[in-house]
Structure 1
Amino acid sequence: MTINPPRDTLPAPNFGARNIFNLAWPMTLKAIILHGTVVIDAYLVSSLGETALAAMGLAAAIAGFVLGGILAFSNAMQIRTAQAFGTNDPVFLKSVLVSGMGISLAVGSIGLLVISLFGGRLLAAMAPTDEVVGLAINYLAVFSLVILGEAVGQCLSSFFNGCGRTKLPLYSFCLSLPINVAASIVLIHGLFGLPAFGVTGAAMGSAIAVCVQVGFLVWRLVRLDGHLRHVAGWRNGTLNATIRRHLAFSLPIAATFFSATFAAQFCTLIYAKMSLNEFAAMTIIAPWIMVAGTIGMQWAQASGIIVAQLLGQRQPEAVLDRFLGSAWRGAFVAAACVALVYSGVCLSAGVLYSDLSVETRAYLLSFLPILLIMPFPKCSNAICGNTLRASGDTIYVMHVFIWSQWLFRVPATAIAVLYFQVPVFWVLSLLLLEEFVKFPAFHRRLLKGDWKRAELAA
């Protein structure tokens, strides 16, 4: 096992905002493309009518829980890879890759087993007609290949991100996206003499695209890191012990992402109890909050990757402080960009959503003050959370997220909507208040400074 030298024996590298930007912009574009793929698939299927669109929506919702699990564990692997990369220990790096791949495939396989056992009954209970159920089942049957492909692809993407090669996952998406669109159009409508598969054709197009994406990532892995297969030994002695250690590190991070997904879905169900115009306004603004927010979130994730690498290198505390100061300054610039996008959406509501009622557009405009403020505490909290995760303080971060969601946001939303019927402006403001609830817990922990003295030997 590699013995890390004392912190003060290593040279102090000049990491700063430029390094974060070089990591963050490919991750941001990849995240936007990922979200945009869902929108494109829905648009392509919409030409088949409401029945096909409903079938795809239901099937995608069920598959989304499995994909969410894969993404949650891949986020944890990204941090663990960065720690391993920073130590320059090939045994550690190989152990992370194998452990992460095993866990990702296990999550995907368990998800597929649950879908095969209960998916049909769940669809039958949720779908409005038997035709929708049949189409959704056919879609899910083919989409299973996408789930397995993503289990491999997201794992490799996180591995490359943790090693600082964030452009490679972006290239894989840029390669697969046009293939997805072209193949889906051909297979949905039966062009060039092929059968018209309808909504199932969209799943086929996604399956073809993910195969291309995974093939590209595997090719790059073999070219860049093929030597790892010749490295002997495991980080924690045996493969089983190494996987258990990786799982122990990953579970709190995965639990955080699961909690966020369930809390968001629960709040959406509560929003449905508002007036039609208020619910429409919340439905419209939610995707914008998610997509534009990736700018700040990916900046924070890139900062966490570099912090993990620096901790793996055992750099002095002064280096860590200097880097984090630069990361924080950049986070406020990213937050300003997010706020600018939000303001453009709200101020352009009359043009972007001219078919909607005047009342709905007025609600969208009323969101502007909240959306101008929210990115700043949110980005600052994200810097804290990703820095603490990079040091291995994952359980504390999990508690902050879970309790702020389930002891504040969800019950506050239920009380505000179901009991007091407050205006939609105040309902949206709960998202901002949640960031202020998390703010002292995150920042006190970070300023305490224990993360700078974290040991990554285990």
Structure 2
Amino acid sequence: MLQSLFAVLGSIITTLMTGQLGDVPLAAAGLANQMYFILSLAQFGIGSGSSIFTAQYWGKNDKESIYKVMGVCLMLGILIGLVFMSVAVFIPQIFLDIFTSDQEVIGLGIKVLKIVGFSFLLTPITNSYYMVLRSTGNVRLPMVVSSSSVIMNSILGYALIFGKLGAPALGVMGAAYANLIARMLEFALILWMVYYLKTPLAVKPSHMITFDKVFLKKILDRVLPVTMNELLWAVGISAYSAIYAHINTESIAAMNIRASIEDLMFVPFLGVTHACAIIIGNAIGSGSEEKSHSYIRQGVRIIFIMAVGLGSLLVFGRNFIASLYNITDLTALYTRNLLFVLGIFLWLRTVNTFYFIAMLRSGGDTRFAYFADVGSMWLVGVPSALLGAFVFKLPVYYVYALAMLDEGVKFFLFIWRYRSNRWIHNLVHD
């Protein structure tokens, strides 16, 4: 929870600082960040799929297999990182043209991507260590390293955006340089700490690539559906962003603010969700399936109560939040209404996230999770948003509310799957 909190606070601080530069820099930074968003979800898919095995192998006390899973996770992460780095550095305009036709926003976004793109190769490696360490019960080290990176990014961003602490004032480019430097330091620190503290992953790299074709296939059978799930979901989110961006530039800026606040709201929920995912995976791996049912029931109750409380705070505090940004009146109006919609639907989104990660993925039910999540988005959410934006010409906050319809579909699918008891798959049983 603390790791998520620091990450989100860092994102909000960067958005606040960039927001002082005006709507265009804020929109450019937000669109450039879409590529990192897709990369992080692809890596989350690889790491999440791998952590299904590491959590269950840890419950079984099979460390040798954990090393092999880590090797597969790193191999896939580096391959995807190379692809994203190449696009960001060499052909960024092709990516940005998908979202907007505003040439001023695109021009600034290209400059940002050509800087931060070099970090896209390091991030998958860093996140692989985070995911596998957490699923073996070591949650403190990822939190300390990630939080240190966020603090460094915020300090460097303040200095380089506004020309403070003896640094030049580079505006939105300063935020990009700060991000790159912080990612490089984060990468170096996690590698050093893993071996210095003699964690379970402190083994020779050659020890991680001892897997054979049978083992690789076993991992890929679960990892690939999760990764494709995250990629198609990321493409869906990017489709939403493109829809919002084509409404007007103010919509892009307002949605960027909404996204940073939503990330903050999700901090406690992700903490509970990932903690439960680890203990549910451990329980299944050790053969205690009834415990996993109990953990899910308790987790859902906790998530729902938290969501109602925080959603209410968001609804009543939306005017104050919008006033923190140096934005136009129209952007402020969009922001307030978007936060209202988010507050109303917060319970639904967080409960669905819990079922998706803590139940389906920890239970190894990755194929059902894939079809339920991606199917709901592309068959219900995206078409609804397209109709709202381009047929009915609705404001961005109504389009955002229509996009939430897919959450209702997923909720009923997840409830049905839980009651069917077909979500439990012991993947490490001999």
TM-score range, shorter chain: 0.7 to 0.9
Shift of 1:257: 1.9
How many residue pairs end up in the alignment? 427
Q: Is the 8 A contact 1:84 1:96 kept in 2?
A: no
Shift of 1:455: 3.9
Q: Is the 8 A contact 2:77 2:125 kept in 1?
A: yes
**Residue type of the alignment partner of 1:375:** L
Q: Could you say which residue in structure 2 is the equivalent of 1:444?
A: 416
User: In structure 1, how many angstroms separate the alpha carbons of the residues matched to 2:388 and 2:110?
Assistant: 38
Q: Match for 1:224 among 174, 198, 205?
A: 198
Q: Could you say which residue in structure 2 is the equivalent of 1:26?
A: 2
User: In structure 2, how many angstroms separate the alpha carbons of the residues matched to 1:319 and 1:415?
Assistant: 44
Shift of 1:448: 1.3
Are positions 1:42 and 2:14 aligned together? no
Shift of 1:88: 1.1
Seq. identity, %: 21
Distance change in 2, residues 1:225/1:279 (3 Å): closer
Are positions 1:85 and 2:58 aligned together? yes
User: In structure 1, how many angstroms separate the alpha carbons of the residues matched to 2:191 and 2:367?
Assistant: 32
Which deviates more, 352-361 or 377-386? 352-361
Shift of 1:438: 1.0
Q: What per-residue deviation string (whole Å, max 9, x for no partner) do you get for residues 403-425 of structure 1?
A: 11111011112223322345666
Q: What per-residue deviation string (whole Å, max 9, x for no partner) do you get for residues 372-416 of structure 1?
A: 542223233222212111121101101001111111011112223
Q: Could you say which residue in structure 2 is the equivalent of 1:153?
A: 126
Q: Is the 8 A contact 1:74 1:155 kept in 2?
A: yes
Distance change in 2, residues 1:90/1:193 (3 Å): same
User: In structure 2, how many angstroms separate the alpha carbons of the residues matched to 1:28 and 1:365?
Assistant: 25
Matches within 5 A, 1:34-183: 35-36=11-12, 38-39=14-15, 42=18, 59-119=32-92, 133=107, 139-183=112-156
Distance change in 2, residues 1:194/1:286 (3 Å): closer
User: In structure 2, how many angstroms separate the alpha carbons of the residues matched to 1:279 and 1:141?
Assistant: 21
**Residue type of the alignment partner of 2:346:** P
Q: Could you say which residue in structure 1 is the equivalent of 2:348?
A: 377
Distance change in 2, residues 1:199/1:241 (3 Å): farther
Shift of 1:359: 10
Distance change in 2, residues 1:84/1:303 (3 Å): same
Are positions 1:393 and 2:365 aligned together? yes
Q: Could you say which residue in structure 2 is the equivalent of 1:265?
A: 238
Q: Could you say which residue in structure 2 is the equivalent of 1:14?
A: none
**3-state secondary structure, aligned to 1:225:** coil
**Residue type of the alignment partner of 1:445:** R
**Residue type of the alignment partner of 1:318:** E
**Residue type of the alignment partner of 1:377:** L
Q: Could you say which residue in structure 1 is the equivalent of 2:224?
A: 251
Q: Could you say which residue in structure 2 is the equivalent of 1:214?
A: 187
**Residue type of the alignment partner of 1:143:** V
Matches within 5 A, 1:239-318: 239-272=212-245, 284-315=257-288, 317-318=289-290
Q: What per-residue deviation string (whole Å, max 9, x for no partner) do you get for residues 277-310 of structure 1?
A: 8887656544433431343244223222221111
User: In structure 1, how many angstroms separate the alpha carbons of the residues matched to 2:279 and 2:223?
Assistant: 18
Q: Is the 8 A contact 1:75 1:158 kept in 2?
A: yes
Shift of 1:91: 1.0
Q: Could you say which residue in structure 2 is the equivalent of 1:340?
A: 312
Aligned CA RMSD, in angstroms, stands at 4.0
Distance change in 2, residues 1:336/1:27 (3 Å): farther
Distance change in 2, residues 1:152/1:456 (3 Å): same
Q: Match for 1:414 among 361, 368, 386?
A: 386
User: In structure 1, how many angstroms separate the alpha carbons of the residues matched to 2:94 and 2:344?
Assistant: 44
Q: Could you say which residue in structure 1 is the equivalent of 2:407?
A: 435
Q: What per-residue deviation string (whole Å, max 9, x for no partner) do you get for residues 20-78 of structure 1?
A: xxxxx2343144245336426635xx65x888767655644445443443333233333
Q: What per-residue deviation string (whole Å, max 9, x for no partner) do you get for residues 70-112 of structure 1?
A: 3332333333322222221011111122211121112112222
Q: Which runs of 5+ in 2 are unaligned?
A: none
**3-state secondary structure, aligned to 1:224:** coil
Distance change in 2, residues 1:217/1:277 (3 Å): closer
Bigger Cα Rg: 1
Shift of 1:195: 7.2
User: In structure 1, how many angstroms separate the alpha carbons of the residues matched to 2:128 and 2:50?
Assistant: 7
Which deviates more, 266-275 or 297-306? 266-275
User: In structure 1, how many angstroms separate the alpha carbons of the residues matched to 2:79 and 2:198?
Assistant: 25
Shift of 1:246: 2.6
User: In structure 2, how many angstroms separate the alpha carbons of the residues matched to 1:124 and 1:427?
Assistant: 21
**Residue type of the alignment partner of 2:367:** I
Distance change in 2, residues 1:303/1:200 (3 Å): same
**3-state secondary structure, aligned to 2:8:** helix
User: In structure 1, how many angstroms separate the alpha carbons of the residues matched to 2:397 and 2:17?
Assistant: 31
Q: Which runs of 5+ in 1 are unaligned?
A: 1-24
